[in-house]
Amino acid sequence: MSTDKPIPNLAELRQEIDRIDEAMHRLLMERGTIIDRLISVKKTSESGSAFRPGREASMMRALAGRHEGLLPLDTVESIWRVIIATFTYVQAPYAVHADISGGDAPMRDSARFHFGFTVPYVSHPSALAVIEAVAGGRGDLGIFRIDQGASSGAWWRTLADKDQPKIIARLPFIERPDHPAGTPVFVISKPLTDAAVRDVVLYAAQFERWHKDVTGALAALGGEAVASAADAYGLSVLIAAPGALPAAQLQTALTDAGASLAQLVEIGSHAERFHVK
């Protein structure tokens, strides 16, 4: 007796696809009803902010960790990013302001991949204009290219004041070769009182005198100089360091490396990136 299963016909396979599509749609609508209840509990429509970078990072790690099969991870990540960003927008409407001084196309690709088309995208000619827009808005985000060098100036210095926006995320979060929106960007928002994730802490460092040994000193601590720009005050450097590293220890290491450090101010933090081979 043959144990081979009968091969389903085309109509049966399409019915299965339709069943799954309907189930996914109903689950999304059900998610919407929960978000509606969440709004009344969190009162995000009053606070103007619904961003939870730590929760987003946890969700994306779980997504990448369990993914398998024919569907590309790029597609799955994009779908979930749009779901998260759109429901966040439903809780408290916001816009994404982009510094396009290094080119509009990569910034637009990053914004659309990570935030979708429902969230408004607003381009600006400079990083300072983005910071000003976020500072003046209710709950907007700003994005900056990390790899455009000193062409946009030491924009991170502007975040040093206590009430200025702060860095809350680094995108893309799921790192992998040939990412469809792989341009590295920092995301800023108004300061998050209880939702910031501190795997990596960012500092605006002002050096009156730089020393070549600083790079090695940072690496020994698990940190790095992400960007730098010379200005009238010397050399301004954007430093990323492990969140568990005390600021005083970082400052001592920089000074011991031979640099003349004038200022070291925390300007935000973000989740550790998730790497996929």
**In sequence order, which ranges of 97-230 are alpha helices (DSSP H)?**
104-115, 127-136, 213-220
d(CA 129, CA 120): 17
Tokens representing 84 are: 């998260």
How confident is the model at residue 84, as a pLDDT?
A: 92
* Fold annotation for 200-270: Alpha-Beta Plaits (3.30.70)
Dihedral in degrees, nearest 10, Cα atoms 33, 34, 36, 42: 180
How confident is the model at residue 46, as a pLDDT?
A: 52
Residue 139 DSSP code: S
Spell out, as residue ranges, where the chain has pLDDT lower than 50: 47
- pTM for the model stands at 0.89
Amino acid found at 258: G
Q: Which long-range contacts (CB under 8 A, 24 or more apart) does 214-222 make?
A: 214/254, 214/257, 214/258, 214/259, 216/257, 217/253, 217/254, 217/256, 217/257, 218/253, 218/254, 220/253, 221/245, 221/249, 221/250, 221/253
Write down the residue that tokens 């919407």 correspond to: 32
How confident is the model at residue 274, as a pLDDT?
A: 85
Tokens representing 265 are: 């101010």
Q: Give the model confidence (pLDDT) of 121-160 as tens digits.
A: 999 999 999 999 999 998 899 999 998 766 678 899 999 9
Range(s) of the chain covered by CATH 3.30.70.260:
200-270
